[in-house]
Amino acid sequence: MKWLIRGGRVIDSQNQVDDLMDIYIHQGRIMDLQPVPPKRGTKSLSDYRVIPAEGLVVCPGLIDIHTHLREPGFEYKETILTGTRAAVTGGFTAVACMANTLPVNDNQSVTEYILNKAKEARLAKVFPVGAIRAGLKGEALAEYGELKTAGVVALSDDGNPVMNSQLMRRAMEYAQAFDLPIIAHCEDLTLSRPGVMNEGPTSTRLGLHGIPSAAEEIMIYRDIQLCQMTQTPLHIAHISTAGSVQLIREAKKKGLPVSAETAPHHFSLTEEAVIGFDTLAKMNPPLRTKNDLQAIQKGLKDGTIEVIASDHAPQSALEKEVEFDQAAMGIIGLETTLPLTLNLVHRGILTLPQAIAKLTQGPARILNLPGLGRLEPSGPADLTIIDPDLEFQVDIRSFVSKSKNSPFHGWTLKGKAVLTMVEGRVVFNQMAPMVEE
Amino acid sequence: MNFDRHHLLGMEGLTREEIETILTTAESLKEISFRDIKKVPTLRGKTVVNFFHEPSTRTRTSFEIAAKRLSADTVSLSANTSSLVKGETLVDTARNLEAMNPDVIVIRHSMAGAPHLLSRMTKPSIINAGDGMHEHPTQALLDLLTIREKKGRIEGLQVAIIGDIAHSRVARSNIIGLKTMGAEVMVAGPPTMIPPFIESLDVGVTSRIQEAVAWADVIMMLRVQLERQQQMLFPSLREYSRFFGLNLETMNKAKRDVIIMHPGPINRGVEIHPEVADGPYSVILDQVTNGVAVRMALLYLLLGGKKSEMAD
């Protein structure tokens, strides 16, 4: 199959491209990118199928560095099939899935299982993240060599932070042997428990136990110090506080191999969303204050935070239609991350190329994904076509994710993916019917 | 008369007029409890379910007596007799109760927001009888009634709330209710038991209870729960009692006409010394009496007992 994606605004921050271009695709690879108007006679178009992208944005396929696909073990919340379908619907051509499945992804069998399921689904590419500790608990390191050989791209304690500093140090040292970055969920559990929301005026009003900002910042500081000792690339997951942004800014100034992500809810919502005991506003880290939200936006703008991640965390009604204290943490995000990110563009906080870089170039660099997060001749034809001006209302009933736990239901947002292509295959298409799969 | 609510979930959101209405109604119903035959037919044919998911004697008995004095039928469910022990969720239990068409569900729950969850999921009127560390509105209302009765007013009074503020739903509801009614509030206790950002509720804060006692027209003591010691909040009951308990020596600094309240149950000798609890300024038992009146008033108002009948 040969495709011509015609006349779109091509944005590829890796190659510093922001131009109207035609993209030629053949056998799942990009053949050529030509500025518009094309030089006469360069191509015979008769055997190409044309995707008219005039007025639309064409960018490298979006990559989500932080997804929970829940399979194996929690298939009632999400499966690799439904999760990757949600991914491509949201414009993502690749997702990195966290290790807190059942069983935990701490060995090659689980990694292989995930990769096989992803292959069967033939939707988004899946890059498994392995566990730092065997079983995500105790004092034993997981087998990083075996995990790497099976296909993991990073190691993380997401879902169960490593409290033991010696163990974290050893994990970072040992990971170097296999060139695996560490993705750290920074939370001092002795300080955060039994908190269920941000510690602030709202938690005091609602009589809910608070999680202070310091619980996140103390661990970020620890992990930055360990990064300085070991020089292992450290990626800090889902930062939520103003203090965290500052710590990362300083670490980067020192030249440490530190990067950070934030999630759309941390730049779109504050702790006040919890009022009324709405369990859809319960997540970890918790929604913080307006001051934090503004600091996060500033960190995105000045490049301190180079990745936006969905932290897609499917939960069923079983986990959410209960008392606030009992409710599980997390919200789904694959289908709302791009629109909420574009919202920052519409509000003048990020430029469009900046916003796209945080969903493409940033995660590809941190996870060392060769060829991804960029559009280059002979590279894989993984790309996303975005209509940045398309207005729509978020409706959980239209989500393809198996779970519906989103606090953004009913929001009117502008801009979304209209076509997603993985290796030359159209895996999501909301464009005119002339484009066939 | 100004009361048009389906639920009573908390003091937060109640207007001054609504609180006045509840207190005035309670005052007029209080007399029933002193009759020879303590029963009126007002709520005949109505069903009140007392759903207590956390141990309680005082509040539950008070609600039950209040409902019975108005001739409502009452059923009591507690955590260990309900299906919750068999693993049923709160929402399922409530939906099952709802299927039997009660008019009111009075709920006490160890977790904040449980009454709000029920109010979203079921139809009957929900009365919050205490949810976690969040609110205990009927306690605040009976406290307001007691203050109004003893002091003749609420507006402009200085009220000190002393003890474990952080874990207290009584403190939260009272702060909100007192502020709505125009009183000033100061909270006092060990800093580990003062919730962060409490100033956002527009109250004064001190860790020296002498200061609060000397300032106050009304002193509300809160119960200290023994398990807090394990949570690193204070070193020992002995030390707590000495520095944060209300004793006769501290009371020497108090205003002459001060009143002392306590939501009960009292830890005698811990947060309040026996001489003080039983002293002349103590209105602790009046609070209990007023509890029945306030709960009668609420049941009456929520069940929309012909509102015109009650007009005064």
pLDDT at A432: 67
pLDDT tens readout for residues A236-274: 999 999 999 999 999 999 999 999 999 999 999 999 999
Q: Is the pLDDT of residue A308 over 60?
A: yes
- Residue A295: closest CA among A360, A248, A258: A248
Q: Which residue in chain A is spatially nearest to B172 when comparing CA positions?
A: A205
Q: How far is CA B123 from CA A149, A254, A322, B70, B116, in A?
A: 57, 60, 17, 22, 12
How many other CB atoms are there within 10 angstroms of residue A265's CB atom?
A: 29
Q: Is the pLDDT of residue B304 over 90?
A: no
Cα distance from A168 to chain B (closest Cα, Å)? 27
**Overall residue count recorded for chain B in this entry:** 312
pLDDT category of residue A318 using cuts at 50, 70 and 90: very high
Could you tell me the pTM of the whole model? Answer: 0.94
Contact A263, A236 (CB under 8 A): no
Contact A264, A311 (CB under 8 A): no
pLDDT tens readout for residues A68-120: 999 999 999 999 999 999 999 999 999 999 999 999 999 999 999 999 999 99
Residues B61-88 have a mean pLDDT of 85
Measured between beta carbons, the chain A residues lying within 8 angstroms of B169 are: 207
What is the rounded CA–CA span in Å between residue A157 and residue B292? 53
Strand partners, A182: A155, A234
- Residue A373: closest CA among A14, A121, A77: A14
pLDDT category of residue B149 using cuts at 50, 70 and 90: very high
Q: Is the pLDDT of residue A44 over 80?
A: no
What is the rounded CA–CA span in Å between residue A167 and residue B208? 44
What is the rounded CA–CA span in Å between residue A156 and residue A120? 25
Mean pLDDT is lowest, of A83-87, A137-141, B7-11, B229-233, for B229-233
pLDDT category of residue A378 using cuts at 50, 70 and 90: very high
Q: ipTM more than 0.90?
A: yes
Measured between beta carbons, the chain B residues lying within 8 angstroms of A326 are: 111
C-beta atoms of B198 and A200 within 8 A:
no
Q: Is residue B266 helix, strand or coil? A: coil
Measured between beta carbons, the chain A residues lying within 8 angstroms of B194 are: none
Cα distance from A211 to chain B (closest Cα, Å)? 11
Task: Give every CB contact of residue B224 below 8 A, 6+ residues apart in sequence.
Answer: B163, B164, B237, B240, B267, B270, B271
Residues B225-251 have a mean pLDDT of 88
Strand partners, A308: A262
C-beta atoms of B117 and A323 within 8 A:
yes
Q: Say how many CB pairs under 8 Å bridge A and B.
A: 66
Q: Which two tokens stand for residue B30?
A: 């209080």
Residues B140-166 have a mean pLDDT of 98
Active site residues of B: 58-59, 86, 108, 136
B78 or A210, higher pLDDT? A210
DSSP single-letter state for residue B102: -
**Overall residue count recorded for chain A in this entry:** 437
Supply φ then ψ for residue B281, to 5 degrees: -85, -5
Q: Is the pLDDT of residue A40 over 80?
A: no
What is the rounded CA–CA span in Å between residue A129 and residue A99? 6
pLDDT at A434: 53
C-beta atoms of A322 and B113 within 8 A:
no
Instruction: Look at strands A92-97 and A62-67 and give their pairing.
Output: parallel
Which of B117, B169, B185 is the best substitution to test chain A (most A C-beta atoms within 10 A)?
Answer: B117
Q: Which two tokens stand for residue A248?
A: 């990362």
Q: Is the pLDDT of residue B85 over 90?
A: no
- For chain B, positions 1-60, list CB contacts with chain A under 8 A: 12
pLDDT category of residue B310 using cuts at 50, 70 and 90: very low
pLDDT at A159: 83
pLDDT category of residue A47 using cuts at 50, 70 and 90: confident
pLDDT category of residue B312 using cuts at 50, 70 and 90: very low
pLDDT category of residue B65 using cuts at 50, 70 and 90: very high
pLDDT at A239: 98
Task: Give every CB contact of residue A1 below 8 A, 6+ residues apart in sequence.
Answer: A26, A27, A49, A424
Q: Which residue in chain B is spatially nearest to A325 when comparing CA positions?
A: B111
What is the rounded CA–CA span in Å between residue B204 and residue B19? 23
Q: Is residue B48 helix, strand or coil? A: strand
Task: Give every CB contact of residue B71 below 8 A, 6+ residues apart in sequence.
Answer: B39, B40, B41, B42, B43, B44
Q: Is the pLDDT of residue B307 over 50?
A: no
The 3-state secondary structure of chain A reads: CEEEEEEEEEEEHHHCEEEEEEEEEECCEEEEEEECCCCCCCCCHHHCEEEECCCCEEEECEEEEEECCCCCCCCCCCCHHHHHHHHHHCCEEEEEECCCCCCCCCCHHHHHHHHHHHHHHCCCEEEEEEECEHHHCCCCECCHHHHHHHCCCEEECCCCCCCCHHHHHHHHHHHHCCCCCEEECCCCHHHHCCCCEECCHHHHHHCCCEECHHHHHHHHHHHHHHHHHHCCCEEECCCCCHHHHHHHHHHHHCCCCEEEEECHHHHHCCHHHHCCCCHHHCCCCCCCCHHHHHHHHHHHHCCCCCEECCCECCCCHHHHCCCCCCCCCCCCCCCCHHHHHHHHHHCCCCCHHHHHHCCCHHHHHHCCCCCCCCCCCCCECCEEEEEEEEEEECCHHHCCCCCCCCCCCCCEEEEEEEEEEECCEEEEECCCCCCCC
Task: Give every CB contact of residue B210 below 8 A, 6+ residues apart in sequence.
Answer: B250, B253
What is the rounded CA–CA span in Å between residue A273 and residue A270? 6
C-beta atoms of A322 and B89 within 8 A:
yes
- Residue A406: closest CA among A322, A327, A334: A334
Q: How far is CA A175 from CA A169, A178, B50, in A?
A: 10, 6, 58
How many other CB atoms are there within 10 angstroms of residue A255's CB atom?
A: 8
pLDDT tens readout for residues A389-433: 999 999 999 999 999 999 999 999 999 999 999 999 999 999 966
Strand partners, A49: A3
pLDDT tens readout for residues A192-247: 999 999 999 999 999 999 999 999 999 999 999 999 999 999 999 999 999 999 99
pLDDT tens readout for residues B94-141: 888 899 999 999 999 999 999 999 999 999 999 999 999 999 999 999
Residues B259-286 have a mean pLDDT of 93
Contact A17, A11 (CB under 8 A): yes
The pLDDT > 90 percentage for chain B reads 79
Partner A contacted by B79 (CB < 8 A): no
What is the rounded CA–CA span in Å between residue B146 and residue A225? 58
pLDDT category of residue A41 using cuts at 50, 70 and 90: low
Peptide bond into A194 cis (omega under 30): yes
Exposed/middle/buried for B202, CB within 10 Å: 0-12, 13-18, 19+? exposed
Q: Is the pLDDT of residue B311 over 60?
A: no
pLDDT at B45: 95
**Sign of the torsion angle spanned by Cα atoms A247, A251, A257, A259:** positive
Measured between beta carbons, the chain A residues lying within 8 angstroms of B200 are: 201, 204-205
Peptide bond into B265 cis (omega under 30): yes
Task: Give every CB contact of residue A28 below 8 A, 6+ residues apart in sequence.
Answer: A380, A381, A423, A424, A425
Q: Is the pLDDT of residue A436 over 60?
A: no
Contact B223, B262 (CB under 8 A): yes
pLDDT category of residue B93 using cuts at 50, 70 and 90: confident
Rounded-to-10 torsion of CA A168, A169, A170, A172 = 80
Instruction: Look at strands A62-67 and A412-422 and give their pairing.
Output: unpaired
Instruction: Look at strands B104-109 and B47-52 and give their pairing.
Output: parallel
Q: Is the pLDDT of residue A166 over 90?
A: yes
Number of H helices, E strands in chain B: 11, 9
What is the rounded CA–CA span in Å between residue B13 and residue B26? 20
pLDDT at B230: 73
Peptide bond into A264 cis (omega under 30): no
Measured between beta carbons, the chain B residues lying within 8 angstroms of A206 are: 112-113, 134
